[in-house]
Structure 1
Amino acid sequence: MRHANGLSIPQSLSDACDPARMALLIYDMQVGIVRQIPGGDKVVQTCVRLRDAARIGGFRVFYTRHMSLPIAASGVSQLRTAMSWQRVDDPTALRSSFPQGSPQYQLVPDLAPGPDEVVFDKITMSAFAATPLDFALRDCHIDTFAVAGIAMEVGIEPTVRHSLDLGYLPVVVADACGAGHPSAAERSHATLEFAGGTLTADTAALVDLMSSRSD
């Protein structure tokens, strides 16, 4: 930890891993997303390990869940994105991929939130865009978060980059972030490393640190 102008500046994972300042963010671990990702079950297992360690250590846990608006209620950007993802040229051929309440929209059963944990629905890639997450964290004096989930190259990188502009210290748990396109995920990791301001951790190291905070 470094100190300047009355501020404490975390430099390492150990500095950052404090339940008074760090939360765990589990990103889009939904039934319909996990089953699309090679090794999705392994990502579930690592997220469960992190979640359980966070509970033991007294860290707040937040989840995101991607939601598709009904096609008739979708605007231009939502339609354009859906056309790209569903590979159709005609917007009338679109379907709502993750409508609220659908089986594919639900979080996987192993990551069902506890009574003191929160799920934020979103229609954006960044978990901080148009959700209460930023306010919820700041209101708890949280300025750091560890992120795990799916997918690194689609939603986690935008979330991390957005958080940097909001003044957070993000901790990417690399082996707990699944990807649909490994080469794209590698580029995401490289981009974040080049830009700076982000810490990288592995599940085992972070689990040890979070669990030890209960001592």
Structure 2
Amino acid sequence: MALLIYDMQVGIVRQLPNGDDYVRACVQLRDAAREGGFRVVYTRHMSLPFAMAGVTQLRTALAWQHVDDIADIHPAFPPGSPQHQLVPELTPNDEEAVFDKITMSAFAGTPLDIALRDIGIQGFAVAGIAMEVGIEPTVRHGTDLGYLPIVVADACGAGHPAAAERSLAALEFAGGSLTTDVATLTKLLRRHRP
């Protein structure tokens, strides 16, 4: 199993009034995973330059930035920008990897699947932001790829809490993934110790 920390970027965490709570939860999980000898991977959402942004990226930018004209949008997470960076508390170490993506699923268009398979990973626990935007699609995609995803519900932030609750309910209804909390998973990760 690996721990997947989803999009804990400066520009995303600061959008949630309780973003620091999710940072602390992810740090707790990350530290326990490191202690237990589990691999840790991170994702970051990035914005392409508009000359390279296709219909999907532009349509999403219009929705997220609440504007009606493409001339009024700006790249929200350009690579290298301060808002694109992971929060400092979740800086990866030399044995951890960061996967940049333009999709909601961490598996679409990234080398995450082949990287996990190549080291024999069959499941992943996921924490980060946002449950209703990217974590649910990642869990569904991971299930379709044959992984056992484990959602750490109290470590998954949301910009729209009601939508996040619907996401959790839909995942439970569909089956194929598990749900846990930070305290339970932290204890299990630390108990593993290599």
TM value normalised by structure 2 = 0.98
Give the whole-Å Cα distance in 1 for the aligned partners of 2:102 and 2:141.
15
2:16 partner SS: coil
Partner residue of 2:91 out of 112, 127, 134:
112
Deviations 1:80-139 (A, max 9, x none): 111111122211222000001111110000000011000000000000000000000000
Aligned length: 194
Contact 1:31 1:106 in 2 (8 A): yes
Where do 5+ consecutive residues of structure 2 fail to align?
none
CA contact (8 A) 1:171 1:199 kept: yes
Asked if residue 138 in structure 1 is aligned to residue 117 in structure 2, the reply is yes
Identical aligned pairs, as a percentage?
72
- 2:164 is aligned, of 178, 181, 185, to 185
Cα distance per residue 1:137-195 (max 9 Å; x no partner): 00011110000000000000010011111111000000000011110000000000000
TM-score by length of 1: 0.89
Contact 1:83/1:90 (8 A) holds in 2: yes
AA in 2 matched with 1:162: H
- Within the candidate set 11, 14, 36, 1:35 is matched to 14
Q: SS of the counterpart of 1:146? A: strand
4+ residue runs over 6 A deviation: none
Structure 1: 5+ residue stretches without partners: 1-21
Alpha-carbon distance in 1 for matches of 2:168, 2:43:
21
Q: Which amino acid aligns with 1:85?
A: W
